[in-house]
Amino acid sequence: MLSNKIVVLGVTGSIAAYKAAELASQLTQRDAKVNVIMTKEAIQFVSPITFRAITGRPVVTEMFELASEFSIEHVSLAEAAGIVVIAPATANIIAKLAAGIADDMLCCTVLATKAPVVLAPAMDVNMYENVITQDNLSKLKDRGFVVVGPVSGRLASGKKGLGRFADVSDIIGTICQVLGRSGDLAQRRIVVTAGGTQEPIDPVRYISNRSSGKMGYALAEAARDRGAKVTLITAPTLLSHPVGVEVIHVGTAQEMYQAVKGNISQIDALIMAAAVADYRPAKAVGEKIKKREAGLTLELELTEDILGSVKGDFVKVGFAAESSNLEENARQKLREKKLDLIVANDITVTGSGFGADSNQVTIIDREGRIDSLPLLPKQEVADKVLDKVAKLLSKS
């Protein structure tokens, strides 16, 4: 998504300026070309050399003193930009942009660019909550600027409140979302499920499985980055909430069933990557079960087959984790659950499937076409699945 994209990163004079170095680093590691513009206040906090070393590219600090690569006009940076990101954005730069003031290189670049602009404000809570700052931010949002954060927490002043620089991962998520706005899933509504459901035995114990949720979260983020409006229905996982995605948390298979049923009217695709428990304890006990000499037998009952029972005019994608007869079992699930696509993986392959960062999958469609992919990072598997979803949607 970010490969070879030109990101103009504006750094302004906030104590959070050092965090922009991490942002620049992560963008560079994803092969973005990061051109940093620092205001003179920012230079008081972090040296331009830091950004020069991290990005491997010239850093612009003063108007009319441009590095040769950017030619002599300030507009050249603005024209080359795929996106402009001001992180951290102080109350001062927000006020200047809202007023259309162009007295430094960063303001000039923002005025001269046609690229989308993302702001990550960072400042004292009182400055942020001040009606002047809020008015300025609403004005900028109305003009199409995208704002990420700030978040609540401890501030440089020692106070607690709204004003902290957003997480770097959320800023990158927002950049990807903005860059993908007119992707091949633009205007599409997609529901993705993720994680392993938990079926209570008593107040402290449950039956679950080894699903980490990574495949479902990767699908939700990849769909977001292709322009889709995504709802992620997730069983408990250790993963953080993907920015720009509506997240619904559930525990049991029954809760996931209710959440899916309640969110599929007018969707374009349902992708069930969750590992839904097939059985739950027939009666969950209200008190903790005590150890006894005799063994313990749990009576289990079937849960609802979510994918097999929901109906609607949308593309239905299922997953099948198999330990034997991969193709045959996957084809049977595709048929019985009336799916458009099934993504099957062999759980005996090392480095693939539950908990891993990669997956080796075989995708089968309704016409019986089969696509066996090599072991790939889950983000790439997500894009391969979405390529097929987008193709099916373009025909409908």
The residues assigned a catalytic role are 209
Q: Using CB under 6 A, which of 9, 306, 315, 361 touches ligand CTP?
A: 306
Q: Identify any residues that bridge with 362 across adjacent strands, giving them in sequence order.
A: 344, 372
- Look-up of token digits 């599409």: 188
Q: Using CB under 6 A, which of 307, 334, 389, 392 touches ligand CTP?
A: 307
CB of 388 to ligand CTP, least distance (A): 15
Residue 66 touches ligand CTP, criterion: CB under 6 A: no
The SS3 of residue 110 is helix
Residue 319 touches ligand CTP, criterion: CB under 6 A: yes
Q: Which is nearer to ligand CTP, 168 or 307 (CB)?
A: 307
Q: Which is nearer to ligand CTP, 87 or 326 (CB)?
A: 326
CB of 331 to ligand CTP, least distance (A): 12
Q: Which is nearer to ligand CTP, 4 or 323 (CB)?
A: 323
Q: Are 197 and 274 in contact (CB under 8 A)?
A: yes
Residue 220 touches ligand CTP, criterion: CB under 6 A: no
Binding mask 236-255 for ligand CTP (x = CB under 6 A): -----------------x--
Q: Which is nearer to ligand CTP, 175 or 269 (CB)?
A: 269
Q: Which is nearer to ligand CTP, 7 or 253 (CB)?
A: 253
Q: Which is nearer to ligand CTP, 25 or 254 (CB)?
A: 254
CA distances from 16 to 88, 93, 159, 167 (A): 6, 14, 15, 11
The SS3 of residue 154 is strand
Residue 333 touches ligand CTP, criterion: CB under 6 A: yes
Burial of 247 (0-12, 13-18, 19+ CB in 10 A): middle
**189-194/269-272 β-pairing:** parallel
CB of 304 to ligand CTP, least distance (A): 6
- Stretch binding ligand CTP (CB under 6 A), from 1-9, 132-140, 239-247, 297-305: 297-305
Q: Which is nearer to ligand CTP, 186 or 298 (CB)?
A: 298
Residue ranges in the chain assigned as alpha helix (H): 17-29, 42-45, 48-55, 75-80, 91-99, 105-112, 125-129, 131-142, 168-179, 214-224, 253-261, 306-309, 326-336, 378-395
CB of 140 to ligand CTP, least distance (A): 42
Which residues fall within 8 angstroms of residue 353, CB to CB, at 6 or more apart? 321, 345, 346, 347, 359, 360
CB of 375 to ligand CTP, least distance (A): 20
Residue 216 touches ligand CTP, criterion: CB under 6 A: no
> Could you say which residues in the range 69-128 bind ligand CTP, by CB under 6 A?
none
Residue 303 touches ligand CTP, criterion: CB under 6 A: yes
Residue 153 φ/ψ region, left for φ over 0, alpha for ψ in the -120 to 50 degree band, beta for the rest: left
Q: In whole angstroms, what is the distance from residue 379 CA to residue 357 CA?
A: 9
Q: Using CB under 6 A, which of 320, 361, 364, 389 touches ligand CTP?
A: 320
Residue 172 touches ligand CTP, criterion: CB under 6 A: no
Q: In whole angstroms, what is the distance from residue 377 CA to residue 218 CA?
A: 10
Residue among 227, 264, 235 at smallest CA distance from 251: 235
Q: Which is nearer to ligand CTP, 170 or 340 (CB)?
A: 340
Please give the structure tokens belonging to residue 29.
Answer: 């590691």
Radius of gyration for the chain, computed over Cα atoms and rounded to the nearest angstrom: 25
Other Cβ atoms within 10 Å of 144 Cβ, number: 8
Q: Using CB under 6 A, which of 88, 196, 227, 318 touches ligand CTP?
A: 318
Residue 341 touches ligand CTP, criterion: CB under 6 A: no
Binding mask 254-293 for ligand CTP (x = CB under 6 A): ------------------x-x-x-x---------------
Residue among 185, 250, 281 at smallest CA distance from 261: 250
Other Cβ atoms within 10 Å of 302 Cβ, number: 11
Residues of this chain that interact with ligand CTP (CB under 6 A) are 253, 272, 274, 276, 278, 303-307, 318-321, 333
